[in-house]
Amino acid sequence: MRSNESDAQPKKVVTVPDLIGYKLQDRRIVMVTAYDYSAALIADRAGVDAILVGDSLGMMVLGHKNVLPVTLDDIIHHTRAVTAAARRALVVADLPFGAYQAGAQDALRSAVRLMKEAGARSVKMEGGAQIADAIELVTKSGIPVVGHLGLTPQSVHKFGGHKLQATTEAEASALVRDALAVEQAGAWAIVLEMVPAAAAMAVSRELSIPTIGIGAGPWCDGQVQVWHDLLALPPGRDFHHVKQYANLGDIAIDALKTYADEVRDGKFPTEEHSS
């Protein structure tokens, strides 16, 4: 089926209860990040279940060194573009650093903005037991929350870099405890980032809500990947936990070089491109 033909099909909107139900059906959740209208359109047409407007936006789109400078207004701006495109996929928006660390009321205020001003259908928050009260208040207010444990990039300086987490037995047990606290607080899923596969498996078995892994091995209930990493945009970023499904960065460079050559050589535009 060509992509424009699949567009003509009626879309069943993916909901939070659908995705929770996948775990019982032993069906994997597919999530990918997107930060703009055209990427979200492509992800939605490809049939992913959920699109994450992650604060990785800071590095992938805004040119920051880490996620810390990303603001709530940045996430709202980009989430609006994504929700304008996503007809089927569930759009989850990140609460960025500084938008919920002051406490539960702060988290609720920020989460409400993401739902009301940007059209997100769920939010994501980093942290375990220490933010359980915030997760509880946000979920009790009717806003579905995805938790995020393991390598939580908003704490990059505490970890001393983007490093594998939960590598000792004690840390792996603490990961399970935090995951249970996040589940009990009302989160509907938990992202597990950069933890050993065995630790992710232990968490996935312990919880009744789905885990969504990134760099966390094959036994999570779903996977999330960063758009730019899957498609090699730009080329040259090559991580152990990523599989590049296309090399669009190199394709784009070649295409733009050809365009530049053709303009310089007077081969484009021709009469064919003239009105």
- Minimum Å gap between C-beta 45 and ligand KIV is 21
Give bridge partners of residue 126 from the DSSP assignment.
148
Binding piece for ligand KIV, criterion CB under 6 A, among 21-29, 52-60, 80-88, 258-266: 52-60
CA distances from 60 to 67, 69, 144, 225 (A): 10, 13, 26, 12
Task: Please tell me which residue in 117, 183, 193, 262 is annotated as part of the active site.
Answer: 193
- Minimum Å gap between C-beta 271 and ligand KIV is 46
**Any contact of residue 83 with ligand KIV (CB under 6 A)?**
no
- 105 phi/psi in degrees, rounded to 5: -65, -40
**Any contact of residue 191 with ligand KIV (CB under 6 A)?**
yes
Nearer Cβ to ligand KIV (114/191): 191
- Minimum Å gap between C-beta 93 and ligand KIV is 10
**CA dist., res. 108 & res. 123, Å (int):** 10
∠ CA 43-18-6, nearest 5°, is 35
**Any contact of residue 214 with ligand KIV (CB under 6 A)?**
yes
**Any contact of residue 94 with ligand KIV (CB under 6 A)?**
yes
- Active-site annotation holds for 169: no
Phi-psi region of 150 (alpha: psi -120 to 50; beta: other; left: phi over 0): left
CA distances from 147 to 1, 23, 191, 213 (A): 36, 16, 6, 12
**Any contact of residue 224 with ligand KIV (CB under 6 A)?**
yes
* Enzyme catalytic residues: 193
Note the residues at the interface with ligand KIV (CB under 6 A).
Answer: 33, 52, 54-56, 94, 191, 193, 214, 224, 226
